[in-house]
Structure 1
Amino acid sequence: MPEKHSPLITISRRNLRELEQLREKLRAQGLEWLTIDDVLQNLGAVDAWRQGLADDAGPTDGTAISAHACLLELCVQARWPMPSEHGRDHTTPAAMAVFYAKERLAEGMLDDHRAGAGANTIASRAANACSRPVALKILASMRLLDDAGDALAPLFDAEVPVALHQNKDRSVLIFAFWEDEDDTTRQRQLDDVQQHLDTAGLALRNPSDQSPATARDLIAGDMELELHRAD
């Protein structure tokens, strides 16, 4: 008996065959419960999944991991459960969706700040997702990361090997990824980093004990320093 699909959409025989082929490929990945409508309503996510597999194709050790990551991304976007040994895993894609939503919230708060909204206003807008203290902490961290990125942008453009990242606790860290630069070159580049941070009113400290630090402490390339606003 042919499978039913949405009566609001007219599908040619050729397109129906293509949808059936996509459904069968997805069922082969363990998504055995999918219908034509499931595929039809999530064509964008399915196409991204298929393209992701094509990009990762090849005899590499990481292919299987990449294929799993592509399938997880598809399930997140389509709001489907992941296949698992117990049948269906609803939790993993839902947890990943929450992670994405938190990142989107942080980026949205920064966008509102850039547009001129005050911190209290932004915290009120985020009330459905987090408490006021948490919202203010997120906003402060995003602003610090943004200001540090702006301050160091000329050095990034000049390919000075330093980078920023945000920790799980929302602290902003800087690290160096040296290759074969000699100590003189490293010192000169780190002095440039320090100068740009000083100009922007930003300072560094050791994340383990909060003691003051300078960019030259990154010369060995085996540690990270925490950024904060200078007093």
Structure 2
Amino acid sequence: MTRAGRLGVGIIGAGKVGPVIGAALAGAGHALTGITPGSDEERVEAILPGLPVLDALEVVRRSELVVIAVPHDDLPGLVAGLAEIGAWQPGQLVLHTDPGYGTDVLAPAVARGVIPLAVHPAITFTGTSMDLRQLAHAYAAVTAPAAVLPIAQALAVELGCEPVVVAESDRAAYGEAIAISTEFSRSIVAQAAALLRDAGVPHPGSYLSALAHSTLDQALTEAGSAGSADAGPSAATIDG
């Protein structure tokens, strides 16, 4: 996006993801309009100082781009509820960050004339400024109608990520892959640490750090080598 394309951006969702996305877009020159309330006001204030805290309807009313970063199960109801009260505005950009959904989940907003975008940065968010450095080395899955796909890709780049196109029909599989990689890794490390603790090893998390990182790096290298052998002309596209 050019500097002439700066947007007023509102954030729905004040968990670990929304404030970081807002900070990244603000760093790219966009103007933040507000964020919905969250349970950790101090953390949000630390990363987005002085940003107005508004209800979702007011965030939508003030914004040209609405970023929705809410739990997976809450997303459909939120989008539909705002549609029912006539909140969405024709021509408004609406972007959600959930890995398991494409743009179909935004259908109630699309019926009101919005432009649907799905952008998922592939990192584990901490909700702190450290995430901004992670974004600079991350990929982001982008899904959008063909006519507006460049907008989704440009926003991913502005977050600091390399965009990878994932087809609407593949978003469920993509979401499952993300869940497996995060939940399984966390579970295995926790189990190993518990066994080491039972064996009398002090500070099991620190003990496992080098082993876990080197093993993961090797596994990722092997996965990348296997993927490159099968990749077609565009390795930056995941399609059905």
Regarding TM over 0.5, the answer is: no
Alignment TM-score, normalising by the size of structure 2:
0.28
Q: TM (normalized to structure 1)? A: 0.29
**Higher relative contact order, chain-length normalized (CA < 8 Å, sep 6+):** 2
